[in-house]
């Protein structure tokens, strides 16, 4: 039986893991007989290290985001460490796991294990293919390695950029889109009916507020300002796996009919299709989901580094606006409420560049490399 291993991490939020699960769904829908396993690589190196790095990452973003941005700016240096000495150390730990699974293809939706897999393939002489699914709209050196057999990227401009900057042949790079849940490929779901299902007014302007899978960013501040300055609109709020935030908001807005609150949800496609605009950071997965739905994005306080670069791309493509001061967001949204044609223009552009079939297209590339 053919086997595919998808290696990912949940250290930096859950977008990478979500992309891995979406690829698995796409693969199994195209080929139900294919054995697909999703695993986080870091716990095989050290469970304690995985917990420690997760805490460091989240606390850095919470208390010193500029520090993360500075580290990200040095990616050319740090990526060399992961490609060679650190990659060998990780590879030594991963070798037995890879040999036990014995896959024909290994795909990384997180950059942590890419260099390690090159080391494992060399040491074990096993002929598995190495694939990389880049989960942002830009690329950095962590994602690129000369031993990678194929890349799945978010948009066509990245093909030329990776070729020019890293000298990777264009034939190895496939514009599939960032893998998102196959549910986003289902058309015909009525915004009107979805709002009724959520106990919302089907005709009222609806704003989705979220902070990625970890519920980060000024989510609570945005809700407070909307309820104060734009009390007539209705809000869908997704806190992801941020349980303390969810409980705090539930106590505060439980009786407010204009606030529909969720924690972590499976059917994000339905939630996005029920909204008129999303206020969020510029995470790769969330932004890809919004584009696939034709949902305009109001970017607020993106993470320095990868999300800053994502923001630039989204603004250049005219599918988003940006306002980092939550108190000014109602002023920005008034334009959309009063002039629906402006919102419609952003939505149409989002649909043009969105890739609702990304998990299927990525799966087809993987299957062709078996």
Q: Tens digits of per-residue pLDDT, 161-198?
A: 999 999 999 999 999 999 999 999 998 789 999 999 99
Segments forming the whole domain that contains residue 148: 3-180+357-368
Specify whether 190 is located in the same domain as 149. no
Q: For the beta carbon of residue 89, count every other beta carbon within 10 angstroms.
A: 15
Let me know: does 42 contact 50? Beta carbons within 8 Å: yes
Specify whether 173 is located in the same domain as 292. no
Measuring CA to CA, which residue among 19, 291, 347, 35 is closest to residue 182? Answer: 19
Specify whether 307 is located in the same domain as 340. yes
Quote the pTM value: 0.94
What is the structure's pLDDT at 235? 97
Specify whether 322 is located in the same domain as 363. no
**Per-residue model confidence as pLDDT tens digits over 276-321:** 999 999 999 999 999 999 999 999 999 888 999 999 999 999 999 9
Specify whether 216 is located in the same domain as 250. yes
Specify whether 121 is located in the same domain as 193. no
CATH number of the domain that 140 lies in? 3.40.50.2000
Q: For the beta carbon of residue 266, count every other beta carbon within 10 angstroms.
A: 8
Among 16-20, 23-27, 206-210, 335-339, name the one with the lowest average pLDDT.
335-339
Specify whether 192 is located in the same domain as 115. no
Specify whether 144 is located in the same domain as 241. no
Specify whether 241 is located in the same domain as 100. no
Residue 130 structure tokens: 């190495």
Specify whether 143 is located in the same domain as 191. no
Specify whether 156 is located in the same domain as 284. no
Count of H-run helices and E-run strands, the chain? 17, 12
Number of compact structural domains in the chain: 2
Specify whether 113 is located in the same domain as 224. no
Among 32-36, 109-113, 211-215, 219-223, name the one with the lowest average pLDDT.
211-215
The beta strands (E) that lie in the chain are given as 3-8, 35-40, 105-108, 129-133, 150-153, 173-175, 206-210, 234-238, 259-262, 277-280, 297-299, 320-322
């Amino acid at each position: 039986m053919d086997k595919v291993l998808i290696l990912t991490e949940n250290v930096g939020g859950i977008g990478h893991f979500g992309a891995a699960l979406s690829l698995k769904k796409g693969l199994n829908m195209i080929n139900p007989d294919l054995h697909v396993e999703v695993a986080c690589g870091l716990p095989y190196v050290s469970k304690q290290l995985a917990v420690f790095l997760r805490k460091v990452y989240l606390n850095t973003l919470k208390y010193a985001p500029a520090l993360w941005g500075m580290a990200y700016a040095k990616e050319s240096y740090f990526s060399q460490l992961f490609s060679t000495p650190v990659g060998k150390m990780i590879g030594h730990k991963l070798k037995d796991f890879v040999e036990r699974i014995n896959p024909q293809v290994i795909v990384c939706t997180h950059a942590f294990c890419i260099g390690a897999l090159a080391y494992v393939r060399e040491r074990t002489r096993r002929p598995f293919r190495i694939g990389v699914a880049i989960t942002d709209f830009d690329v950095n050196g962590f994602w690129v390695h000369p031993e990678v057999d194929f890349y799945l990227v978010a948009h066509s401009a990245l093909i030329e950029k990776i070729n020019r900057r890293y000298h990777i042949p264009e034939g190895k790079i496939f514009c599939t889109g960032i893998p998102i849940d196959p549910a986003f490929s289902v058309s015909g779901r009525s915004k009107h009916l979805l709002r009724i299902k959520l106990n919302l007014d089907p005709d009222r302007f609806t704003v989705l507020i979220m902070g990625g899978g970890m519920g980060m960013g000024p989510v609570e501040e945005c809700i407070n300002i909307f309820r104060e300055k734009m009390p007539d609109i209705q809000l869908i709020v997704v806190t992801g796996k941020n349980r303390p935030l969810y409980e705090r908001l539930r106590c505060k807005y439980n009786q407010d009919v204009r606030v529909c609150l969720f924690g972590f949800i499976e059917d994000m496609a339905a939630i996005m299709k029920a909204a008129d605009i999303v206020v969020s950071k510029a995470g790769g997965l969330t932004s890809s989901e919004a584009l696939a739905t034709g949902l305009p994005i109001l970017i607020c306080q993106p993470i320095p580094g990868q999300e800053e670069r994502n923001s630039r791309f989204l603004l250049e493509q005219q599918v988003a606006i940006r306002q980092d001061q939550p108190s000014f967001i109602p002023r920005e949204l008034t334009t959309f409420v009063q002039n629906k044609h402006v919102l419609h223009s952003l939505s149409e552009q989002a649909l043009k560049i969105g890739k609702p079939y990304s998990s299927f297209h990525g799966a087809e590339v993987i299957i062709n490399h078996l």
